[in-house]
A = this chain, B = another copy of it.
C-alpha cells in the first residue's frame, strides 16, 4: 500500500509512519515528491490493519495496491471454474438457464412451472421455500413443505433445484433437498450464513447485495471458498441507484469485469434486476451477449395471482420467447445452453 502524507508533513511524522509500517512487518520505501511525500509499504497483506494507518499524524490517505480477496482471484486460479449441480452446468462455455416461480405456492404451481421451463430449454429450477420479505405482513414461504414440493418437481423433470437458505441453522435442512443453495442479496454479508454454506459441499449461488461493491461481493465469496466450498457462482441482480423506473439498476458490466478478476462464474438475474416483466427478455439476451455464464428468471403459471414478485414474472409463453432469443444470442457469442452430462 501507499501512505500519502499531507503537504507540509514534518520529518518527524514521516519517521513515525515509517516505523508504523515496519511494525506491521512491511518494508517501507519513501519517495519525496515536489509537494508531498509518500511511503510505499512493501509486502502488504490482505487485512484491514492498513486502515488504522490513516489515523497517523500527518497522513492524508492510504491507498491499497493489492485486491483484498485471494482465493477468488483470477491471479491465483487463471482458469474459469465451471460449477455443476445435477442437470446444471454454469461457467466457461456453459450457460446455465435457471427458471421457475419466485415462491413455491403449491405442488401444482411448481410442477407445472418446472415442466414448462424444462420444455422451453431451462437446465435448472428456481423456487423459494424460505422467503425473506421486506414486510412482516407478507407471505413468508412454505418452508419445509415447499422444499418437498421442489424435490417432487425435480423428480418429475430432472431439473436441478436452486433454492434460498436464510439462516445458518437451516443449511442442513435446505441442503437435503436442494442442488444449489442460494444466498439472497439481503444476506450477502451475513457472515455466519456464508461460513455455514462454506462448510458443506452443495454448490452456492451468491447474490450481490443491492449496494455491495465488487470487492465486497468477492470477499463474501471468499468467506465461502475459505471455509472449504469451491463451488460458488456469483449472481448480479441489480443495484440500488437513483433510478426509479426500474426496481434495481442492472449493471451488466459486472460480467466482463468479474470475468477479468475472478475465475468464478457469473449469473444474471434479469427479473430482480429490472423488476418489470416487459424488460426481462431483452435484458436476458443482453446478459448472454455480455458473456454471462447463467441466467436465473422468474416464471409463473399466472403472474397476476403470484404470492410474490408477480410484476416481474414471465408467463410460460414469455419464457419460451426468452429462450428462443437467448439461444440465438448464445450461438452468436459461443455459449451453449445444454444440460450437464455428468
| A→B interface (CB under 8 Å) | 2, 4, 7-8, 20, 29, 31-36, 38, 40, 42-48, 51-56, 63, 65-66, 68-70, 75, 132-139, 166-169, 186-187, 189-192, 209-211, 213-216, 219, 222-223, 226, 239-246, 249-253, 255-257, 260, 273-274, 276-279, 282-283, 285-291, 303-311, 313, 325, 328-329, 331-333
Contact = CB atoms under 8 A, between A and B. Distances in A.
The 7 closest A-B pairs by CB, nearest first: A52-B310, A211-B211, A289-B289, A54-B311, A286-B290, A328-B332, A186-B189
A63 B40 CA distance: 13
Contacts of A310: 51-55
A244 B283 contact: no
Contacts of A286: 252, 255, 286-287, 289-290
Contacts of A304: 20, 52-53, 55-56
A5 to B, nearest CB: 10
A214 B245 contact: yes
A291 B287 contact: no
Contact of A223 (B69, B136, B274, B287): B136
A289 B291 contact: no
A257 to B, nearest CB: 6
Nearest to A210: B211
Given A31-B42, A52-B304, A210-B211, A279 B251 contact: no
| Copies of this chain assembled into the complex | 4
Contact of A243 (B135, B213, B243): B213
B245 A242 contact: no
Contacts of A216: 134
B190 A138 contact: no
Contacts of A333: 285, 325, 328-329
A137 B332 CA distance: 41
Given A34-B43, A249-B253, A253-B274, 13 more contacts: A2-B2, A36-B65, A48-B135, A52-B305, A52-B311, A55-B313, A166-B191, A210-B211, A213-B242, A214-B243, A239-B243, A240-B242, A282-B291
Contact of A38 (B40, B46, B278, B291): B40
